[in-house]
Amino acid sequence: MLTLNPMNSSFNKLLTFKTLITASMIIVFSIHPLLMERVDALSDTKQLVLDAWTLVNEGFYDPEKFEEIQWKRIRQKTLQKQIETTEEAYSAIEDMLRPLEDPYTRILRPKDYELLKSSNFGSEINGVGLQLGEDDDKKIKVISTLGGSPAEEAGIVSGDFIEKVDGISSKELGLANTASKLRGNSGTKVLVEISSESGEIREVDLERRSVDLRPVRTKRLRDDSHTIGYLRITQFSESVPKKVEEALQELKEKEVEGLILDLRNNSGGLVSSGIAVADSLLSQKPVVETQNRNGIKDAIISQKETSFDGPMVTLVNKGTASASEILAGSLQDNDRSILMGEKTYGKGLIQSLKSLGEDSGIAITVASYLTPKGNNIQGQGMTPDKLLDLPDASEYGSADDKWVKNAELFLESLLENEELAFQNSELSNDGIQS
């Protein structure tokens, strides 16, 4: 607070009057350009651009980036452009967001917005079944393929790169537009140029269709001595936590002794769903820490009750990303489950989905997450406790899936060791009771 030395009343009145005049001049001259901006923004198309800028300005996780790229100046220059159609507004927003260098903060045109909402809340999706990301060189990379999708049937695998879509370079399109061009009505076709990690280039003609996501799949694995439960989660949509609860209850009724949790090629989805599943498997343990734009880390602690507390193995691969990495990290860091497989993808950023206008939306990176032990997954991925150098099965969880067989053998050895320890304990107690 500023304190003035006492002076005579006339001088104080004069000083107050001068201060008011000066303040008024500052206000008039400083807000005048903003007023002009506001007049321009009154058109629906420019208002859309301004709304997008405001949402990002209020939520983006790294505000230091704003000073680096002169974020307010970008708004001013963007609003000075001729923006007459909705499509021009979307393009202007894309140009405005590009300096942030965050592919996950992006405009979602009506078709993409509806599709993203349906994939988060529904059980079907129209397209070719690819989950995409960007590598360090801004190349569009396949995170995973959806089971039973056209992309999987064409032999596209995690780690492949999308070079062109219908003859247009993916570098020119960017992540969001590449994904958008791959989506479409069932029955329509799209030509995709793929390159492998080894550099081999090929073209595939994919026919879009409705893919049944079936986010939760389960079965019982039995041998002569043990019964193991197998639970596969393909993505984290809104319905998944409830489906997982039902699946775990079903497996408990079948008296499974251990659990194989399969998160291979699960590229994420709703973070809240991933956390809810972790809550079903952990008892009063930290699940994840989030770090927002204020640098605040909020640890989320699981509830006391669990749906399954037996021994576990969790399968992960390079297609395991985002919300599935949160789940896998919480299980690993709390010594709740052994991780087995390949190093995971490494997406540690959280997006918030906001409505923009009537039909479109905008995804904004609002936070990063850390595992309970403080490990930052972004760009790093997670290293399994036991690496598997085995070919992928044609169908996950099938009889020829060597990954599942390895996990099953590991669990059986754990259960046998537990039985042996229990028997030795009984023998020891019998000896005491002489």
Torsion angle of C-alpha atoms 156, 157, 159, 165, degrees rounded to 10: 20
Other beta carbons less than 10 A from residue 374's beta carbon: 9
373 assigned to active site: no
343 assigned to active site: no
- At 129, is the secondary structure helix, strand, or coil? coil
Selected catalytic residue, list 119, 144, 149, 322: 322
Concatenate the DSSP letters of all residues of 15-41 into one string.
Answer: HHHHHHHHHHHHHHHHHHHHHHHHHHH
Which tokens in the block code for residue 422? 């229990």
Place of tokens 């793929």: 194
Other beta carbons less than 10 A from residue 255's beta carbon: 9
The CA distance from 379 to 377, in Å, is 6
65 assigned to active site: no
Selected catalytic residue, list 112, 262, 333, 401: 333
Bridge partner list, 202: 194
Other beta carbons less than 10 A from residue 53's beta carbon: 23
> Which is nearest to 225 in space by CA: 422, 416, 423?
416
| Amino acid letter, 103 | P
Q: Which H helix or E strand runs over 117?
A: helix 110-121
| Surface-to-core class of residue 259, CB atoms within 10 Å of its CB (0-12 exposed, 13-18 middle, 19+ buried) | buried
Selected catalytic residue, list 141, 318, 347, 354: 347
With a CB cutoff of 8 Å and minimum separation 6, the contacts of 191 are: 164, 165, 166, 167, 203, 204, 205, 206
> Which is nearest to 311 in space by CA: 407, 194, 189?
407
The CA distance from 219 to 231, in Å, is 7
With a CB cutoff of 8 Å and minimum separation 6, the contacts of 222 are: 228
Active site residues: 322, 333, 347
